[in-house]
Amino acid sequence: MSERVDADALAGPPSGVKAHPLLRRRYLLPFALVLPIILYEGLLIVYPIVQGIFGSFTRIELASSAATTWVGWDNYERMFSDPAFWKVIRVTLLFTGLVIVVALTVGLLTALLFNRPFRFRPFARGMLMMPWAIPEVPVVMIFIWILSPQFGVVNILARMLPGVTKNPQWLQVPELAMGWMVLISSWKAFPFYSLVILAALQAIPQELYESARVDGANRLQLFWNITFPGIGSTLELLVVLAAIFSFKQFTIIFLMTGGGPSGTTETIVIRIFNTAFRFYDYSYATALGVAGFVVSLAVALVFIMMQVRRAEDSA
């Protein structure tokens, strides 16, 4: 992060008018530039959040034009005493945790593999990026078809397992449905992590490997003592990013299971949607939204603290 133009230094030769320094035109320029952005994001992101926090303490009636009534902590008391809420939290943690592990492991392994020189590597890397570039809705369409209990191609593999004589109802069995949500979300997400890890791998100086090899280090030692420390901070960062991205995952789960069977894939974002737009319980959905907001803000703060630490380290 290098400063390009110092607004103050660029203020030019002082003019005859003795204006307050803060009011000098050039000093105001950055603020004038970002003001529209802050207003825009403020109106469409921050204001709805504030509205949501306010709304979670009220009873919202959208159908009738009745004024919203203040209900205090009612929605929150209901939330914390609702066993369904704690189930949603468990499902969210399970899904998020599994996607982090699966997507990052696959991302790391493919990055290590694709970092080795071989012919057609650019082509292979292009293919690696495919799942990431395909929009979520077509991804859902592909997997609905692949998992079709009648004709789905995945059943060919399943039938090879001992004891499987008929095609499973992939999205009707809780464990299988959750497994597929994790696999599909990871399939969609891992190329991004792989690409970031590849960039980190390529930043490791080759001389380190050469001198270690001269000293007789084997491959495992090379990995643990050079590769792993070299990409360690990138991996840390990616764990947090993966947590944020998988916590946000909506479209794949919503379109494939809608949270079912019987709530076993209902993460908090799905629950919020269902509460509002299936059961029309806007106030309670808003309270759930505030709970989700607190969690994602906490994770975002971890990410930011890591960023700040990195900036300090490199300074």
Partner 1 sequence: MVAKLEDSSTAAAKIDARRLFNTALLYLTVAVVSLIIVFPVYWMMISTFQPSKYILRFPPPLLPQELYFAQFAELFSEHPIAKWLRNSFLIAVMTMLLCMALSVLGAFALSNLRWPGRNLFGLFLLVTQMLPEVLILIPLYILYRRLNMLNSIPSLALIDAAFILPICIWILKGVFDNVPPEVLDASVVDGCTELGALWRIVLPLSAPGLAAVAVVAFFFAWNEYLYAGIMLSSGEFMPASVGLSTLKAIAQTPVEQYMAAGLVFSVLPVLFYLVMQKYIVSGLTAGAVKG
Q: Quick one: tokens of 228?
A: 């792993």
* Residue closer to partner 1, measured from CB, 147 or 177: 147
Question: In Å, how far are 121, 137, 249 from 140, measured between CA atoms?
Answer: 28, 5, 13
Q: Looking at this protein, which amino acid is placed at residue 264?
A: T
* Least separation in angstroms between CB 87 and partner 1: 18
* Residue closer to partner 1, measured from CB, 175 or 207: 207
* Least separation in angstroms between CB 237 and partner 1: 6
* Least separation in angstroms between CB 103 and partner 1: 13
* Residue closer to partner 1, measured from CB, 114 or 170: 114
* Least separation in angstroms between CB 120 and partner 1: 8
Cα gap 256→266, rounded to integer Å? 11
* Least separation in angstroms between CB 117 and partner 1: 7
Cα gap 307→17, rounded to integer Å? 42
Q: What's the burial of 133, exposed, middle or buried (CB within 10 Å: 0-12/13-18/19+)? A: exposed
Quick check: 1 and 311 in contact, CB under 8 A?
yes
* Residue closer to partner 1, measured from CB, 95 or 187: 187
Question: In Å, how far are 52, 179, 277, 300 from 61, measured between CA atoms?
Answer: 14, 38, 13, 32
CA 61 remoteness from chain centre: 32
* Residue closer to partner 1, measured from CB, 86 or 280: 280
